Structure 1
Amino acid sequence: MTTDQLYKELNYVNHSREKRLHYANLVIDNPNLIPKLLDILFMVDDKISPRAAWVFEFMCGKNIEAAIPYLDTFTKNMHRVHLDSAVRPVAKVCEYLVTAYYAKTDNKIKYALTKAHQEKIVESCFDWMINDEKIAPKAYAMNSLYLLGKDYDWIHPELVMILERDYQMQSSGFKARARHILKKVKS
């Protein structure tokens, strides 16, 4: 399947779990589609970009290790994503990566996610925290930053400052996640 053919196929992806899962499985079964999917995801001004992001998120949710050969591409370009419906799944993929990296069980992400990748994730997560994003990307970013703060001692103080500063102006969902993260950081 060419990039153009995949682009046309992504027109059929909608918010339904069934469709996203169908295309995620297609990509998992055909790993040669992953770079094409990322090419479409990083067409950041295109209306199909979020659909590619949804499929990539579902693929990573099922098999995060399938993303390993593309970590450079993903982390190098993720900061460019700006459409709300694409930012959320990109932030979720970051959370998947960081969660796998800090998992108690051994996995390939622990060896593949380099300091350079982590720094790009930190940068994007802080951008999502301070920019006018919806609650979901902020929630995923909070969790990623909390975990990464275990290895980067400057992250927790910055995260706490942002959470405390923005607390009163944010939604109840943000407040609930922020309380949870603040409690973990302070314990």
Structure 2
Amino acid sequence: MSSELQKKLDYVSPCRASRSLLSGEILENHSLFDELVAACFLTSDKNHHRACWILEFVCYEELLWMQPHVDFFCSNLKHLKEESAIRPIAKVIQLLIKSHYKKAENCILLSEENLQNCIEASFDWLINDVKVATKAYSIRTLYVLGNHYDWIHPELKIILNKDFSNHSAAYKAVAKEVLKKIK
């Protein structure tokens, strides 16, 4: 990783202002974006989770920058293990999936393999021990995907009903919202 981006990631804190500051720099300097995406999946690097935080913020503004990276991004989802990296990546997946199915002129195009990788990661995060925000993004992503893959909604429904009583109010709220849409 270049020392420029690495040094900047060293100083990013979890606070929104800090993440916004570096994401603003990336938005102003598109040439750093390729390196940022790569840094997200360099799991041996102490700052890879910080790169994920920044990627999420950049994707809110310039999701189309991800198009050349979707194959790399989707094929590497399975390598993420750290909760603070998974949560923002789950949000990026949600953004990518929503964009893909808009079928608008300026939308992200995902291959069948990309979609399968997103489905697998989302189900993994939903059934494994991750925090509620990641589960919520995964539930919403799987709901959208279930509108296009007829087997997803029944599986999602089973998981949500089975796990409902074991989770927080936030999880229950998202589960109720999605279960209501599925029925």
TM range (shorter): over 0.9
2:156 paired residue among 156, 159, 168: 159
| Structure-2 residue corresponding to 1:38 | 37
Query: Normalization by structure 2: what TM-score?
Result: 0.93
Give 5+ residue unaligned stretches, structure 2: none
> Helix, strand or coil for the counterpart of 2:148?
coil
Q: CA offset at residue 78 of structure 1? A: 1.6
Give 5+ residue unaligned stretches, structure 1: none
| Structure-1 residue corresponding to 2:47 | 48
1:119 equivalenced with 2:116 (yes/no)? yes
Deviations 1:66-106 (A, max 9, x none): 11111111111122111111110000000111122233754
| Structure-1 residue corresponding to 2:93 | 94
Contact kept, 8 Å, 1:149 with 1:156, in 2: the verdict is yes
Contact kept, 8 Å, 1:28 with 1:66, in 2: the verdict is no
CA distance in 2, matches of 1:76, 1:30: 26
The total of aligned residue pairs comes to 183
Q: Read off the aligned partner of 1:95 and give its amino acid letter.
A: Q
CA distance in 1, matches of 2:53, 2:81: 14
Deviations 1:120-147 (A, max 9, x none): 1000000001110100111000000000
1:133 equivalenced with 2:133 (yes/no)? no
> Helix, strand or coil for the counterpart of 2:181?
helix
Instruction: Summarize the alignment of residues 21-32 of structure 1 with structure 2, pairs less than 5 Å apart.
Output: 21-32=20-31
4+ residue segments displaced more than 3 Å:
103-106
Query: Normalization by structure 1: what TM-score?
Result: 0.92
Deviations 1:124-173 (A, max 9, x none): 00000111010011100000000011111111111111101111111111
CA distance in 2, matches of 1:162, 1:118: 20
Instruction: Summarize the alignment of residues 57-68 of structure 1 with structure 2, pairs less than 5 Å apart.
Output: 57-68=56-67
Superposition CA RMSD, Å: 1.5
| Structure-1 residue corresponding to 2:144 | 147
